[in-house]
Structure 1
């Protein structure tokens, strides 16, 4: 079977070809103008140095290809009445997407000051990569975008995320050949094994090979036709090739190919929706080969520029020093014949304007690209009915995430018809004790299913692939197009998506200041299998640092929760799933653990974010001698066990126990909306008493959050200090000095009133640590008094 398309018929009549080429020229003209021009937008006077920007920023090389694809997608959208969005993968294709949304009228709709006339065009040009203007890449400010162009590798996976549960949507995902070299993008090709044409939309990957990245050839562009065909057939696609440099020929190829592909997509969907899903389709894709910097200067200063890496960014920039460059720019701009494209007022002439779709069929105005517009609220059951019965604190055990799994199961059930909620994770849903969800749905799987397989179905709504980047990208695409999701992951390996989280957090922060962008559902992480219970997997699995990374982002968009037991986890999870426009990070253990709060107390505690646990304290009615603070399930356990030792040995000591669920409450109120006022912080933590803080993560994060508060100088934090191995659970805390014995010794060292008796207690604690080491080395498990400890009061 020949999958290449150069022999296809020529569907464009001469007049249609002329108009499409003219529209493409207009988009290219506007793109070059954005990079170079400050004034004289339509060259109605000779180009002068003062008409050119003093700092030339932007990327030209990929832009004409993006413009070419856009105009052809416009054609099939109109011809077939398609619901289509455009994802521009090449990092700095901003000039092209801005140009096209301006030509179709969307840009002026959202930015009335960028009007469709000479003055508006002047503003369009000036704002690009200019102080107070817009970035050079496709950004949140760009209408029609859900994909931030500042980071490469995620265009395709975002496209698939947008297509899930969007049956009428076609997502055109342009993958640059530089971007195609990233690991995330290489993995994303396998997303076609998770798409179900019955209830999902379609993704049309367009691999745009223009040969070069910044200063080198690209790997895929140097593969032969046969190698590329074999590669993508192997991925499960049906590749169509569109190749060349002659615009007339390539226009005809692209038009014919898109006609064929749209028909194929519709046929695949129709067959599945009438007869049901039977087997994974071979979805079509396009491999487009065109010159880098197409239609730009052939050479500059005697050096090859078009169809070479020199056209990647600004093809030439020394305009103030080289008068011949000014003439070169003028000739380049005039080669597009703007006088034939725009009327006297500077508006695109009507015969070209009519090529663009209308209303929400415009890719820049598709509601799915402004997800808050189409967002439907989740139907969420009352989380209180899943509560663990806690008649007394610290005496019964439960698995927190297993309890949360039943809550998530029913959220999945209650939203089955709307199909607007999915759970994402890298092959860990069952491992993380969320397997109750499999009572109502399966894992999404459109590849082959064997008789012995369990919980695999093309209709499943649990997204698992052993690629954190794919799970993250799917979820981002899903959220950005107006749905809800939940991501569970081993704590140590969520770091794999650090940079993806960065971009999403920046997107959320930026869109807060864009009035026409509507809030989307929050990105919710559950990090479990965490540092303190990775004793069996060892040091490689022991890293709580993601919360430090998250805490660096703007307070308007990040939240971090450390619920100490199942009921607080339920309360926090409900809150996060109802929230909008945040990144919520929840850290909770999956192992059987002591439960501390009944549901009523858990709700009150989580609502406040932190609080004094009166039942664990003995300072009521007086000043405490020491504050024992904790954040995280294992630090809470060790803190309470330490308090027990203190009570047994120093009954006169006044101890206040403070538990922190919402980590951001530790910041001053002026730094974070959840932060405590200085007065409230002083009331809870005192102004002059020692604070022993047992923390889930790296100790210095607590210092960062609290350093402005009055009593910071008395704060002593214990946490993970990069000591780990394959050992027992309790030995993990011992290795990091977070155990109950070290916490008690910290109190002894900081409360002088304990007097001479403290020396004997401290020696007893040191002996306990030695006893612990000998015991685990002999028996391979923790001492019974550690394993079986419960709150005794």
Structure 2
């Protein structure tokens, strides 16, 4: 059965009084932000012109969040804790803004919003107002690392923040609506990966106020024993705080926090000083208070407090409805603002008695502005890992395996400082990155069996079969000043589409805030990609994440398709050094031809797109056709096509262009990496056919290049949703990306070739037909394909 907080907090009447004063002040400020644009201290009766014309915001969750903010202040100050809080309820902005304004961190960040009457009026007016701040906790909010615009990720962010932060306490308030989401449900398992020796502590606070926008919440309606069994089954030891009487709830929450923190201190001591390796069952708090607590009990004869009606704006139409205006004034005056703020609007001493000082304040903790703590990642010389390339296209390596050697060294070089993590959904070895296990095992706190490999209670490789958790952990890790890489199968990274949306929005907004220091980029390595999923088949074939990302803010997103091992090393070095970007790197794990030496790879990646003169036949003359490629398999097919054209049409001037940085195709005005028209036209020409073999969906290339002068001449081959379990070459044939189809495209589009090269075109079509029959008889690709190398 459930367990109450096991002891009463030693709250004296004076401390109880000051805690309640802070809570009432925060509630007043939260309500004021939703409603008022003038008369912030109610120095005169409310009039319609004091009320905002558009009432936006969420009151229902705010009193509970204010309560948590107040009590976190108390324990931080009493215990001198290094702590931050992740605020999960989506639109809890009024509460967190109120707390940071009361403690002074908001005014230090935004000096025009002073801690006085004029500043209070600005605080109120700017909330959900044109030119102001959002209604949710956002990058503009001091102390925040979590975007409240979408629910489900708070607990994963909290654990990511705690990883490798041994002295940090990360409180996380989880709304009961958010608790219904899939990512949050999986996040409870994060406790099996938290190392009590090297990591900080996460204290979840499950806030049950009973309702979402219009419906009851599942966890709030579970029988108490069933809820307790669920949370204990997740591995937590819940402490319960329930009530409607403020004094009783203050005492109970103080007791629960003290108990939880005592337990955390004991668990840390046992692991760090006594060497206890037994899995820890971390405490958590279940806080059950009414939705819209202390707000209007009824409006127009229907109940509001404690119901779904309190979710957003409990008193609508205040400007037009005199009765509602009077009720709003009664509500605001019920907090007795004259006791909480002086005539000048400054919070009185009682209100600030529980507030910590300096960097201990929740709005000023440097971990919540992680760029302040970020150190450059030690990256070894790439030449130590590069593959030798004596001649292009003769030797093969697995690019991600080569990258694994580099990542192993990075992991080794950060062994002491512990500020680099590799995350992925159970695929580190599958993606050929297993060399990292020589420097760090896989984080694991649950049971270990003799048959297990590479499990490590102190590991910094983190695997769980939930892309949501990998994303959330890494975001929390980066936002608090560390580095990392997310390795994933290309098709299934789509699971985090909405999460990366939010992170990109966070980065874009943060770039506009001078006080937020740049953080390490969010780096994706997408492998096991569309063209080499011949064993898994159609379900594992989807290259569309690139399209999704390139729809987003151009100042933040970057996409790279390195064609071989050395270019992957060069791209990896670049993205791991970068700041404030989302970098998507698509690279193969299967054997791939080596095209460029390390020096050539560096130069080519720096250009982002360039001519491979050794592969073409233009010999300084104007080309008849441009063969362009982006991606490892398309590059191989283009070079094979170029070889066929050299053999069968030796007088044709062919230019080969390889693109590594996809954003180079955009106009310079649209993206910082984009080419000017002069650069683009010089590379692709304005009037010659361009046959472009692309890794993903072909229409993306058209979208990127549609404004270019030569766009009418651009013909793109790529993935056309034609997949199955088949041979590697059959995948490209099925999607018309194969070398023979590319040669046919050249013949079809270069003026004069349709008649002159008709026999060549027919020969190419015949090979495709023979391929179809061969694979069905032999189960392997044609010998001339399987044994192909670049012969020049």
TM (normalized to structure 2)? 0.99
Structure-2 residue corresponding to 1:594: 593
Q: How far is the alpha carbon of 1:277 from its aligned partner?
A: 4.5
Q: Aligned equivalents of 1:115 and 1:348: distance in 2?
A: 11
Match runs of 1:281-680 below 5 Å: 281-680=280-679
Partner Cα separation in structure 2 for residue 613 and residue 100 of structure 1: 59
Q: Which runs of 5+ in 2 are unaligned?
A: none
Q: Which residue of 2 aligns with 1:83?
A: 82
Q: SS where residue 659 of structure 1 aligns? A: strand
SS for the counterpart of 2:468 is helix
Q: Which residue of 1 aligns with 2:693?
A: 694
**CA distance in 1 between partners of 2:638 and 2:351 (Å):** 71
Q: Name the SS of the counterpart of 1:275 in structure 2.
A: coil
Count residues with an aligned counterpart.
Answer: 792
* Equivalent position of 2:148 in the other structure: 149
1:4 is aligned to 4
Is residue 212–residue 218 contact of structure 1 (8 Å, CA) maintained in 2?
Answer: yes
- Describe the superposition over 1:522-541 as per-residue Cα deviations: whole angstroms up to 9, x where unpaired: 00000000000011111110
Displacement after TM superposition at 1:645 (Å): 1.1
Q: Deviations over 1:566-597 (max 9, x none)?
A: 00000000000001110010000000111100
CA distance in 1, matches of 2:220, 2:140: 31
Matches of 1:10 and 1:139, distance apart in 2: 33
Q: How far off is 1:754 after superposition?
A: 2.5
Preserved contact between residue 60 and residue 293 of structure 1 (Cα < 8 Å):
yes
**What displacement does 1:330 show?**
0.3
Superposed CA RMSD: 0.9
TM-score using structure 1 length: 0.99
Distance 1:162 1:112 in 2: 28
Query: Take 1:483 and 1:47, find their aligned partners in 2: how far apart are those partners?
Result: 49
Matched, 1:94 2:83: no
- Tell me, in whole angstroms, the C-alpha distance in 1 between the residues paired with 2:530 and 2:193: 31
Q: What are structure 1's unaligned runs of at least 5 residues? A: none
**8 Å Cα contact 1:197/1:269 also seen in 2:** yes
CA deviations on 1:627-651 (whole Å, 9 max, x unpaired) are 0000000000000111111111100
The 3-state SS of whatever aligns with 2:56 is: coil
- Once the two structures are superposed, the pairs formed by residues 127-146 of structure 1 within 5 Å of their partners are 127-146=126-145
Aligned twin of 1:684: 683
1:218 equivalent to 2:217? Answer yes
SS at 1:365 equivalent: coil
Deviation of the 1:755 alpha carbon: 5.3
Deviation readout 1:169-212 (Å, 9 max, x if unpaired): 00000000000000000000000000011010000000000000
Provide the secondary structure at the position in 1 that maps to 2:485. strand
SS at match of 1:240: strand
> In 2, Cα distance between the equivalents of 1:733 and 1:495?
22
Tell me if the contact between 1:198 and 1:277 (Cα under 8 Å) persists in the aligned partners.
Answer: no
Partner of 2:235: 236
What's the counterpart of residue 65 of structure 1?
64
Q: Which residue of the partner structure matches residue 745 of structure 2? A: 746
Q: How much has 1:3 moved relative to structure 2?
A: 2.7
1:177 partnered with 2:176: yes
Report if the CA contact (8 A) 1:650-1:754 is conserved: no
- Runs of 4+ displaced beyond 3 Å: none
Aligned to 1:772: 771
Cα distance, 1:10 vs. partner? 4.4
Contact kept in structure 2, 1:197 and 1:277, CA below 8 Å: no
Q: Does the 8 Å CA contact 2:387/2:597 hold for their aligned counterparts?
A: yes
